[in-house]
Amino acid sequence: MIKKYIFGKPMNTGAVSQKLSAEEGSLPVFGTDISENKINLTCPLSERDIVYGLGEANRGINKRGWHYEAKNSDDPVHTENKTALYGAHNFVAVSGCEHFGIFIDTPAYIHFDIGYSDPDVMSIDIHSPDAVIYFIAADDISTVVREFRQLIGKSYIPPLWAFGYQQSRWGYQSAEDIRNVVENHRSAGIPLDAVYMDIDYMDGYRDFTVDNVKFPEFDKFVSEMKENNIHLVPIIDAGVKIDENYDVYREGVENGYFCKRADGSNFVAGVWPGRTHFPDFFMPEARKWFGEKYRRLTDLGIDGFWNDMNEPAIFYSEEGLKEAMEHVDRLKGENLGIDSFFELTGTVAGISNNVKDYDHFYHTVDGEKIPHSKLHNLYGMNMTKAAAEAFERFDPTKRMLMLSRSSYIGMHRYSGIWTGDNCSWWSHLLLNIKQMPSLNMCGFLYTGADVGGFGNDTTPDLLMRWLEFAVFTPLMRNHSAAGTRDQEVYRFRNSAAFANIIRLRYRLIPYLYSEFVKSVLNDDMYFRPLAFDFPDDSIAVGVEDQLMVGNSVMIAPVYEQNARGRIVYLPEEMLRVKYLPDGSYETRVMPKGHSYVSAELDEVVFFIRKGHFIPLADSANSTAELNMKKLTLLGYLDYKANYLMYSDDGESKDYYDQNNYITLTVIKDNRDISVRSSDPDVELAADIK
């Protein structure tokens, strides 16, 4: 049951794809307090209530006990004290005696106090009088989330190759660099499907240009890579360099496509290329214009992009720079004591990503000038929409890989996200585990973190454990920041063990891809907290470091340094699969309850639910070489089970074509196992307990 309530005069953000008529009267469950410029919602929390949601946020799966902000931020240090990351995902759901959720559809700043000030109260402060609020209630939390997902529409599905292993680094400097990376993977038997191109491929950080000294004959290079089954994925930044000799800049100025100051001049923001203008992605013509520019790269064979710095990130504005310089001038010659000294450093540090700048520029929405501060959280989504709308025009039948850093609910229909600049910390591996189900609740299914960690130096054991988790994340991309230790897996002594883990990923793709696409089409979560599947099990309900992956698998990743295993909670009897460094695996039935499960650094452990089996392919060096028609069915059952496998050409969009569905059947009759496939071309083997 979903009810819609309108407060003030909200704009259409594009978050919701279902049309509902608005209710009269007041919001159920929540106390509502409307003052001139704000809406405050409060709701009591009872002792057992768990609060889910908020998508890309810090801390636990249960958000209770902390506070969060809807304020898309470029903050590369995700420590526990942080309250805002890159996305605004304003959906929270309470699960306890009752199950309900609330979605606050507004670009405005929101403060979610979830039992932070008062442990028994959730208090939500919306800094705007205008919002559409959806209230969803159901008998269980899964239904609440599913109804929400139906409201916001089907999630983005990337091409199959985007389920392969992907390598990135800021920054590969040349075609030669990238060739080496690919060659080193191929020669060590490490599967690879994509290499990302960070800002250094561009000519002076100008979007849609390629430096032709570092990348001579780029089109030939793209084809050369394609022949090797490698997709190149270039980055696109939000800011357009101010440069009279750059056509994108000139066209933007001539057509009035950039964000304006109050006096009508183009707003200037300092980012990578120095001074830039921000395209006004709220104008449909500007979206169309910017989107067309991707064609320069798609015409060369590029079929994937990542949109970065689209919160938007602002190193400085001219306004902010001037104010800070004046401040510094005032302090010149002063005897700087405790206050004035910190004022000085604070003033200079505060130039970047200063919210004051959000009032220094305007967007045009339906002919009306609106300050950025009122729309901030929608900017990244609209940049990505520009790209997605363009891809629809270029070829409506073809899937593209698209990732965005900044997001708002609604963008999940156009693109995936990566979770931004994490660090090479064990705590961020755990954060990655916890963020995944929350993101899924908010529609973001194609997602993953920078595996191995972006900032700081990784260690081979952290990278290995991280990969063992990332084997299950739809986006499996190793990425790291400039200046940090090299992090491609072949850099390390035990590269065979790394290769083996990544080869397991490819073995699992028939299962992972099926579960992913089915989750999208059924508005389900691909990653779920155990509480969603075992709501009556009071221990399972509290587990934060194990996840269900699709309908048949549970994972319990190791996320502590030097650990040689961990305690796992099994809510029911399951089959433990231990994947060994020689590529073989052992299976064992494990009882319900807590168990210590050993997992050496190079071993991957996962669990298959009783009465289920999963399809495994033979490994391959790329998804293009993966044979989905030769499968081993691995599982544990008493008598009979079916598996609905989804398998298509990996690039077109006919998701509902019945030929994409293959029913696999296993029948166990005492010791006799028989297997069947609805597609006679599938060659089957079985490994059934």
Residue 689 pairs in a beta bridge with: none
Under the binding rule (CB under 6 A), the answer on residue 199 touching ligand MIG is yes
Give the nearest distance from C-beta 418 to ligand MIG in angstroms: 7
Interface positions, 608-637, toward ligand MIG (CB under 6 A): none
Q: CB neighbours of 577 closer than 8 A, spacing ≥ 6?
A: 585, 586, 587, 605, 606, 607, 608, 634
> Considering the complex, what minimum distance in angstroms separates the CB of residue 311 from ligand MIG?
10
Q: Which residue's CB is nearer to ligand MIG, number 462 or number 543?
A: 462
Closest CB 452 distance from ligand MIG, rounded Å = 12
User: Closest separation between CB of residue 228 and ligand MIG, Å?
Assistant: 24
Integer Cα distance of 183 and 189 in angstroms: 10
Shortest Å distance, C-beta 586 to ligand MIG: 38
Shortest distance (Å) from residue 528 CB to ligand MIG: 27
- Could you say which DSSP state residue 680 is in? T
Q: Which of 163, 4, 121, 81 is nearest to 514 (CA)?
A: 163
Q: Which is nearer to ligand MIG, 116 or 418 (CB)?
A: 418
Residues facing 579 on adjacent strands: 585, 604
Q: Which is nearer to ligand MIG, 7 or 316 (CB)?
A: 316
**Per-position x/- string for 212-251, each x denoting binding to ligand MIG as judged by CB under 6 A, each - no binding:** -----------------------x----------------
Q: Nearest distance from residue 302's CB to ligand MIG, in Å?
A: 17
Between 312 and 437, name the residue whose CB sits nearer to ligand MIG. 312
Using DSSP's 3-state secondary structure scheme, residue 149 falls into: helix
Of residues 305-364, those binding ligand MIG (CB under 6 A): 308-309
- Which residues between 464 and 493 bind ligand MIG (CB under 6 A)? 479
The site that binds ligand MIG (CB under 6 A) totals a number of residues, namely 10
Give the bridge partners for 487, in sequence order. none
Residue for token pair 């950025």: 372
Separation of alpha carbons 467 and 581, rounded Å = 14
| 204 versus 593: smaller Cβ distance to ligand MIG | 204
Q: What angle do CA 14, 126, 388 make, to 5 degrees?
A: 20
Q: Residue 423 has what DSSP assignment?
A: B
Q: Work out how close the CB of 76 gets to ligand MIG at its nearest, in angstroms, rounded to a whole number.
A: 7
Shortest Cβ distance from residue 298 to ligand MIG (Å)? 21
CA 593 to chain CA centroid, nearest Å = 32
The bridge status of strand 630-636 relative to strand 683-688 is: parallel
Name the residue nearer to ligand MIG (CB basis): 114 or 401.
Answer: 401
Indicate the residue among 236 and 574 with the shorter CB distance to ligand MIG: 236
Among 71, 111, 214, 405, binds ligand MIG (CB under 6 A): 405
Quick one: 134 or 170, whose CB is closer to ligand MIG? 170
CA distance 164 to 192: 6
Whole-number Cα distances in Å, 438 to 91, 267, 315, 444, 635: 10, 35, 30, 9, 28
The reply on whether position 198 binds ligand MIG by CB under 6 A is: yes
Q: Dump strand ranges (E) for 496-549.
A: 527-528, 547-549
Tabulate helix, strand, coil % of the chain (nearest 5). Answer: 30, 30, 45
Nearer Cβ to ligand MIG (111/479): 479
CA neighbours within 13 Å on the CB side: how many for 543?
28
Q: Identify any residues that bridge with 664 across adjacent strands, giving them in sequence order.
A: 643, 677
Q: Which two tokens stand for residue 297?
A: 């790269």
Rounded to whole angstroms, how far apart are CA atoms 365 and 360?
16
Instruction: Name which of 470 and 575 has its Cβ closer to ligand MIG.
Output: 470
The owner of tokens 């064979």 is: 301
In the bound state with ligand MIG, the residue whose beta carbon lies nearer, of 486 and 618, is 486
What is the C-alpha to C-alpha distance for residues 293 and 682, in angstroms, rounded to an integer? 42
CB of 198 to ligand MIG, least distance (A): 5
Residue placing its CB nearer to ligand MIG in the complex, 108 or 271:
271
Nearer to ligand MIG, 309 or 554 (CB): 309
Q: Which residue is nearest to ligand MIG (CB)?
A: 170
Based on the shown chain and the rule CB under 6 A, indicate whether residue 101 belongs to the binding site for ligand MIG. Answer: no
What count of other Cβ atoms lies within 10 Å of the Cβ of residue 486?
11
CB contact at 8 A, 146 and 524: yes
Are 208 and 296 within 8 A, CB to CB?
yes
CB of 481 to ligand MIG, least distance (A): 6
Strands 110-114 and 630-636: unpaired
**In angstroms, rounded to a whole number, what is the distance separating the alpha carbons of residues 68 and 82?**
8
- Per DSSP, 331 falls in state H
CB of 87 to ligand MIG, least distance (A): 13
Q: Which is nearer to ligand MIG, 199 or 616 (CB)?
A: 199
Q: Which residue, 203, 193, 205, is CA-closest to 168?
A: 193
- What is the SS3 assignment for 514? helix
Least distance (Å) from ligand MIG to the CB of residue 380? 12
Instruction: Restricting to residues 289-308, name those near ligand MIG by CB under 6 A.
Output: 308
- Confirm or reject binding of residue 545 to ligand MIG (CB under 6 A): no
Token pair recorded at residue 617: 């392919």
Closer CB to ligand MIG, 137 or 476, in the complex: 476
* Residue 420 found at the interface with ligand MIG (CB under 6 A): yes
Q: How far is the CB of 315 from ligand MIG (least distance, A)?
A: 9
Nearest approach, Cβ of residue 479 and ligand MIG (Å): 6
> Of 82, 73, 69, 83, whose CA–CA distance to 111 is shortest?
69
Binding site for ligand MIG (CB under 6 A): 170, 198-199, 235, 308-309, 405, 420-421, 479
